[in-house]
Amino acid sequence: MHTRRIGDVEVSAIGLGGMPMSIEGRPDEARSLATIHAALDAGVTLIDTADAYHRDAHEVGHNETLIAKALASHDRGKDVLVATKGGHLRPGDGSWTLDGSPGYLKEACEASLRRLGVEAIGLYQFHRPDPRVPYAESVGAIRDLLDEGKIRMAGISNANPERIREANEILGGRLVSVQNQFSPAYRSSEPELELCDELGIAFLPWSPLGGISRARELGSAYAPFARIAEAHGVSPQRVCLAWMLARSPVVVPIPGASRPETILDSFAATGLELSAGEVAQLDAV
């Protein structure tokens, strides 16, 4: 349970989601750097980010820049697969907008390359479908970036089964990841998880603990998670991530964190073995 694969890259079975370190309510930079370094010390080798993970309009790519700084200042930084995304935007007023046009996606990728300080992005994902742009055109831009060597692997986010199959076809069978919302509170991505399992594509649940505001409430909202956590002497959050890992070998949760202790507790889920009966109880929630 300690490692998984994304494409041809072996990564830690639990990744680190960077968004809480850059949006509203974010900590100071010192604590964010300490959080990322704690993750690396524990063995995390996958960090998820996006150019849209920022708070103010003038700081696009805040999270990418933060992660690049953290990796450059740690001796294990070169061992990390950084997954970033393009196609989502934040004007700076708290809202989220979309631009899936091929021209924009290619420009966004170039900007992410500069912020991350790399020649090729390890995993680049189309962040969210733009209803104004045909999906094939958006994914076609990702294919072009892959063919040009600007990105090493390609993924998509917030996609239904039809779009997963379409993207994989457009990419010539080179789709390596699907990043969808999935948690005890949000189970509608079950079909996508099952399809990824069938196709051998990594499934990266975002907000696996229910999101920044709800993660602490997981145990009180879902009694079976609290009950099984008490039996093992661990947190409900750790049980939740272990449950996801038990669902399929393609699942790689990316819980967000902004404190060292939070990512350390999440990463410890890689060592928590749940029985088949416990998994069944949690499946039924």
Determine whether 53 is an active site residue.
Answer: yes
What is the C-alpha to C-alpha distance for residues 214 and 183, in angstroms, rounded to an integer?
11
What single string gives the DSSP state of each residue in the chain?
--EEEETTEEEESS-EE-GGGTSTT---HHHHHHHHHHHHHHT--EEE--TT--SSGGGTTHHHHHHHHHHHTSTTGGGPEEEEEESEE--SSS--EE---HHHHHHHHHHHHHHHT-SSBSEEEE-S--TTS-HHHHHHHHHHHHHTTSBS-EEEES--HHHHHHHHHHTTS-EEEEEEE-BTTB-TTHHHHHHHHHHT-EEEEESTTS-TTTGGGHHHH-HHHHHHHHHHTS-HHHHHHHHHHHH-TTB----B-SSHHHHHHHHGGGG-PPPHHHHHHHHT-
CA torsion 42-45-50-55 (nearest 10°) is 10
Catalytic residue among 53, 104, 124, 222: 53
Closest CA to 102 of 125, 64, 135, 124: 135
State the catalytic residues. Answer: 53
